[in-house]
Amino acid sequence: MKDISIIRSKVAIMANRLKKMGLTLSAAFKRAWALIKCKTIRTKIAGVTKGNRQKALKRIAEVYSLEQVQVRLERDRANLHDNNAVKVIINVNSSLDYIIGYIPKNLAYVISTLIDKGIELKTAFMGVRGHYTDYMNYGAVINLQLA
Mean pLDDT within 102-108: 88
pLDDT digits (tens, 9 = 90+) for 9-36: 888 888 888 888 788 899 888 878 877 7
- Fill in the DSSP letter of residue 46: B
Distance CA 7, CA 9 (A): 5
- The structure's pTM equals 0.78
- Give the Cα-Cα-Cα angle 33, 128, 87 (nearest 5 degrees): 55
Mean pLDDT of the chain: 88
DSSP one-letter code for 45: P
Kindly list the structural domains of the chain, giving each domain's residue range(s) and its CATH number in brackets, ordered by start: 1-38 (no CATH), 39-146 (3.30.70.2330)
Say how far apart CA 101 and CA 87 lie, in whole Å.
Answer: 6
- Contact between 31 and 86 (Cβ < 8 Å): no
- Write out pLDDT tens, residues 41-73: 889 999 999 999 999 999 999 999 999 999 999
Q: How far apart are CA 96 and CA 59, in angstroms?
A: 15
